[in-house]
Amino acid sequence: MTNKELAQYLLQSLNMALGSLMQGETSYTNSFDCQVMEEGFLFLPRLPAGYIIDTDLYQKIFLIANAALYPRFTLLKQNSAYFVPIDTTDIHIQRGLFFPWKKGISERLVISNLDSFAASVNTTLIPIMKNLSIDFNKATSIVIGGNSGSGKSYVLTYFLSILKNISELIIVDPKFDTPSRWARENNVPVIHPQRNRSKSDFVSEINENLSNCMDIIQNRQSVLYDNPEHKFKHLTVVIDEVLALSEGVNKTIKDSFFSLLSQVSLLGRATKVHLLLVSQRFDHSAIPVSVREQANILIQIGNINQKTTQFLFPDLDPEGIVIPIGNGTGLIQVIDNEHPYQVLPLLCPTYYTKKGIL
């Protein structure tokens, strides 16, 4: 299909669906036009118009076009109307609504042997889907949210298997569950609760490790001051179910935990010290707001609606985003200078792992 044919197809779809909203104005009456571009398409209203050009109209066009273009294109959801100027002297058509897209749809990676696959990843690029990888060099913090049974542990095990070859790991497992078994199989130290120890004592041990991370950050900052190009080995602090650490703990110890977590999140990027946090929810009682705001890889899996996305994607209305049915599906947002800031449908990799881990 040529760009001209695609534009005609979009016009026909919009004409048929927008009739009542736009008071009968259509492209046949020269009220608007569509223009297909490489990175998306433009809705070009001709002003003055008998309809209001606002966020509500933009979202209606998104819903119509996203369904019409699926699966050839995936429209990237915007929080509000995305106006762009048009290079023309005609004041009637000097502005347009832009709808960015990516070609195709999200496709799941299917991995027959996770250990072999992880060993083959010899760069800092972490494959997420067939058409999406993230550069760990550009990661600050990774957060993974999802309701119980959504597959968080499955996703975490994938990240651990990839990261063990490119990063030193400090694993904290409050539930003494999947991450601990993975760590045992891969000879990686893990911090977990022990008998005859209080929860406050357990969190104090975590604080000591976070404090050591701050010492590493400060030492590396001194090195970077003299040699800005110095390359450090990545260090990742992995905390499974971070919400379990912040509830029912002595307030002083909890405040220290939050403070250290914030400092590592804010100062760790340049020195290659990262956080990987997993939780059922990421409200202010689970992690400090500053940590959530510093995270630039956001993953929400399981049930997707405005309630479940309110912490990781507070400005997002997920209506119209096509999320495939199945385990390990959800949303992902990668905030760096290579990926669009918009939220994308996510299909987590499918893999097989050693018996006794999951």
How many residues appear in the chain?
A: 358
Interstrand relation of 167-172 and 190-191 (parallel, antiparallel or unpaired): parallel
If one counts every other C-beta atom within 10 angstroms of the C-beta of residue 81, the result is 17
What average pLDDT score do residues 329-345 get?
Answer: 82
pLDDT at 20: 67
Tokens read off for 331: 């949303």
Query: What is the Cβ-side half-sphere exposure of residue 213, based on CA atoms within 13 angstroms?
Result: 32
Give tens-digit pLDDT for 172-230.
999 989 999 999 999 999 999 988 888 889 999 999 999 999 999 999 999 999 999 99
| Pick from 112-126, 159-173, 278-292, 338-352: least confident | 338-352
67, 87 Cβ separation under 8 angstroms: no
Q: Inform me whether the pLDDT recorded for 352 exceeds 70.
A: yes
Give tens-digit pLDDT for 272-299.
999 999 999 899 888 999 999 999 999 9
Give tens-digit pLDDT for 46-80.
999 888 899 999 999 999 999 999 999 999 988 88
| Residue ranges per structural domain of the chain | 3-103, 110-351
Tokens read off for 133: 């990888």
Q: Which CATH superfamily is domain 110-351 in?
A: P-loop containing nucleotide triphosphate hydrolases (3.40.50.300)
197, 179 Cβ separation under 8 angstroms: no
Nearest to 123 by CA among 270, 247, 285, 234: 234
